[in-house]
Amino acid sequence: MIKTGYRLLKLYRKTIRNFYIGLIFVFLYAPIVTLIILSFNDSRTRAKWGGFTFKWYSSLFRNEEIMAALFNTLSIALISASVATLIGTIACVAIMRMKKTSRTVVIGVTNIPMLNAEIVTGISLMLLFISLGIRFGYGTILLAHITFNIPYVILCILPKMRQLNLSTYEAALDLGAGPLYSFYKVVLPDLMPGIVAGFLLAFTMSLDDFIITHFTKGPGIDTLSTKIYSEVKKGIKPEMYALSTIIFISVLVLLWLVNRIPAKEAVQKKSEKH
């Protein structure tokens, strides 16, 4: 009797937990489901349902403005994340070799763009570019993105740096390897998870950024975010819903694959053992 009561209580708790998680999921995914549904809506306004269609998906690839914005977004994300990863990795090595006070100062300044409001970062860079007389456009967006990406890269690599065992590096030096060679062969592999995580985080941040791009872009150039923002008043083109659906689904599939591969390998290794 007591046992069943206890089991019921457990079940009751589990139901409440799952219900709560489910509720937050609905909250987080409701707008995404809405956007996906809208991408199949055969009517220009989002207010009414005009039947199911794929036409926005085909006209998307003929829409030069959206394609140009997509190209800008992806290329800026790729270049800025790569440059930020390179600068950030080298900076981490230097930071670890610094004395304690200068290290604290450098890390403190590095945290500023992450803790500061994006609107302030955006405005400050805009004022900088104006006073340097740099023409606003692709280049200024790229510089801004590299700037706000470096801190995320450093944030990902520094913890890995602290876990490093420097004796292996010294052993490599003692065995006659040059400093660069031993860094490449001994230290870098240990840092790799942090570097990859930093690159991916930077790429994501750049892809999703609107505010800083808004202040550092010039006329005539758009990323997807600024394109969407300029369409807010006159109404979003349905092609945009189609594009964001494609992006979302591809990321979902990619993450699912990445999550699956290790599980598959583990299963394979297990079966090989038996």
Partner 1 sequence: MTRSVNDNNRKLNNRRNFGTILMGSPYLVWMAVFIIVPLFMILYYGLIDRDGHFTFANIMAIASPVHSKALWLAILLAIIATAICLLLAYPLAFILSRTTLKRSGFVILLFILPMWMNFLLRTLAWQALLEKTGVINNILAFLRLPPLNIINTPAAIVFGMVYNFLPFMILPIYNSLLKIDVNVVNAARDLGAGNIKILQKIIFPLSIPGIISGITMVFVPALTTFVISKILGGSKILLIGNVIEEEFTHAGNWHLGSGLSIVLMLFIVINMIASSIFDKNREGSML
Residues 67-96 that bind partner 1 (CB under 8 A): 87-88, 90-91, 93-95
- Which residue from 151, 131, 149 is spatially nearest to 212, judged by alpha carbons? 149
Q: How far is the CB of 232 from partner 1 (least distance, A)?
A: 6
φ, ψ (nearest 5 deg) of residue 222? -140, 145
List binders of partner 1 among 147-176 (CB under 8 A). 147, 150, 155, 158-159
Strand-pairing partners, residue 52, are: 41
- The verdict on 136 binding partner 1 (CB under 8 A) reads no
Number of residues that bind partner 1 (CB under 8 A): 75
Please state the closest distance from residue 25 (CB atom) to partner 1, in A: 7
Q: Which is nearer to partner 1, 118 or 190 (CB)?
A: 118
Q: From residue 186 to residue 205, what is the string marking binding to partner 1 with x (rule CB under 8 A)?
A: ------------------x-
SS3 41: strand
3-class state of residue 67 by DSSP: helix
Which listed residue (116, 174, 192, 257) binds partner 1 by CB under 8 A?
116
Give the residue, chosen from 8, 30, 261, 267, that forms a contact with partner 1 under the rule CB under 8 A.
30
Instruction: Give the pair of three-digit tokens for residue 271.
Output: 């079966």
CA–CA gap between residue 49 and residue 42 (Å, rounded): 7
d(CA 123, CA 100): 32
Beta bridge partners of 41: 52
Please identify, among the stretches 4-12, 51-59, 168-176, 206-214, the one whose residues bind partner 1 according to the rule CB under 8 A.
206-214
How far apart (Å, rounded) are the C-alpha atoms in residues 211 and 246? 23
Residue closer to partner 1 by CB (options 134, 168) is 134
CB of 102 to partner 1, least distance (A): 9
Based on the shown chain and the rule CB under 8 A, indicate whether residue 113 belongs to the binding site for partner 1.
yes
> Quick one: 117 or 175, whose CB is closer to partner 1?
117
Shortest separation between residue 35's beta carbon and partner 1, angstroms: 5
Does residue 210 interact with partner 1 by CB under 8 A? Answer: yes
We find the least distance from the C-beta atom of residue 34 to partner 1, in angstroms, to be: 4
Site string for partner 1, 237-266 (x = CB under 8 A): ---xx--x--xx--xx--x---x-------
What is the C-alpha to C-alpha distance for residues 109 and 116, in angstroms, rounded to an integer? 11
Separation CA 88–CA 157 (nearest Å): 8
CB nearer partner 1, residue 72 or residue 147: 147
In one letter, which amino acid is 91? A
The closest alpha carbon to 38, from 230, 238, 190, 203, belongs to: 238
Choosing from 128, 173, 177, 221, the residue that interacts with partner 1 (CB under 8 A) is 128
* Least distance to partner 1, CB of residue 109, Å: 6
DSSP labels for 145-207? HHHHHHHHHHHHHHHHHHH--HHHHHHHHHTT--HHHHIIIIIHHHHHHHHHHHHHHHHHHHH
